[in-house]
């Protein structure tokens, strides 16, 4: 059995940040004094009540929103513009309905500043890359299907493939399985675990599902109600690979219950 992989260097460092939205009377403090340190290749989950700033952390790390105070660094560089080394997937797959699964995956390469100039000359090579990653998520035989011909779970697999096709070193996931039924969601836990083993990006997963967080992550951060503060950092020392049988083990359930207790604890 594979053990949890030891991490190397600090890859993402968030130091005592405040993050606000709006201005003047409309200003809202979303995150206050949050600090996180994430090693390269680490799988981190962020949990907490709705509106606590979980998704804001993804925006800060990806360079889509600047901090109001403190610092956010990736590979030692302050994040001041959109980060080129990240892939992103969201709760809705947002596939283009007129493109096949394969062409939806290739879209990421067509529009990426790093690959768009090369796309036309290397289209056959990129096509093979896209087919390989679709095979990795179990969609080898569905590459020519359109989104309306795919189930919700299949569409989300395409979305993950699109986020990973350019082999990003950082993968940011915002409730990617939140709209799916429980059986499909659990199936995709295993797909994501497999992708992480194969490609080993640094992952930040935002989720409301505590079982999902414990199942997938090396480390779980719990955020308080808004303005979001880091209440705790919990290492998940369950050996990998994990299976659905793992979720019935007492140690797994103890971790889930411990996280739930922290989230439900009244704010001090």
Distance of alpha carbon 187 from its chain centroid, rounded?
A: 16
- Choose among 178, 174, 229, 233: nearest CA to 203: 174
Output the six-digit token pair for 68. Answer: 């109001």
Which pLDDT does position 112 carry in this prediction? 73
Is the full-model pTM beyond 0.75? yes
According to CATH, the topology of domain 1-85+169-176+202-268 is Rossmann fold (3.40.50)
From the number of C-beta atoms within 10 Å of its C-beta (0-12, 13-18, 19+), residue 96 rates as: exposed
- Give the model's confidence band at 3: pLDDT under 50 very low, under 70 low, under 90 confident, else very high: very low
φ and ψ of 242, to 5 deg: -100, 150
Query: In the chain, where are the structural domains located?
Result: 1-85+169-176+202-268, 89-168
φ and ψ of 3, to 5 deg: -90, 165
Higher pLDDT, 69 or 85: 69
Higher pLDDT, 23 or 55: 55
Alpha-carbon distance of 192 to 254, in angstroms, equals 23
36-51 per-position pLDDT tens digit: 999 999 999 999 999 8
Distance of alpha carbon 8 from its chain centroid, rounded?
A: 20
Which pLDDT does position 4 carry in this prediction? 40
157-166 per-position pLDDT tens digit: 999 999 999 8
């Amino acid at each position: 059995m594979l053990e949890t992989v030891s991490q190397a260097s600090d890859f993402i460092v968030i130091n005592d940040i405040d993050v606000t939205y709006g201005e003047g009377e409309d200003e809202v403090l979303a995150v206050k004094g949050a600090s996180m340190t994430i090693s390269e290749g680490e799988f981190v989950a962020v949990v907490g009540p709705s509106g606590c700033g979980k998704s804001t952390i993804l925006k800060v790390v990806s360079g889509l929103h600047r901090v109001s105070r403190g610092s956010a660094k990736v590979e030692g560089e302050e994040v001041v513009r959109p980060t080129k080394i990240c892939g992103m997937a969201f709760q809705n797959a947002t596939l283009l309905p007129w493109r096949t699964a394969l062409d939806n995956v290739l879209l990421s390469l067509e529009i990426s500043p790093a690959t768009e100039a090369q796309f036309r000359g290397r289209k056959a090579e990129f096509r093979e890359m896209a087919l390989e990653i679709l095979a990795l998520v179990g969609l080898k035989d569905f590459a020519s299907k359109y989104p309306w011909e795919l189930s919700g779970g299949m569409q989300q697999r395409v979305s993950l493939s699109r986020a990973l096709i350019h082999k990003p070193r950082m993968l940011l996931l915002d409730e990617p399985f939140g709209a799916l039924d429980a059986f499909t969601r659990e199936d995709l836990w295993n797909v994501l675990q497999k992708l992480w083993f194969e490609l080993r990006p640094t992952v930040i997963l935002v989720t409301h599902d505590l079982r999902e967080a414990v199942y997938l992550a090396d480390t779980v951060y719990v955020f308080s109600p808004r303005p979001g503060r880091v209440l705790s950092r919990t290492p998940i020392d369950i050996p990998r690979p994990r299976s659905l049988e793992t979720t019935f083990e007492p140690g797994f359930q103890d971790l889930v219950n411990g996280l739930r207790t922290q989230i439900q604890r009244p704010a001090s």
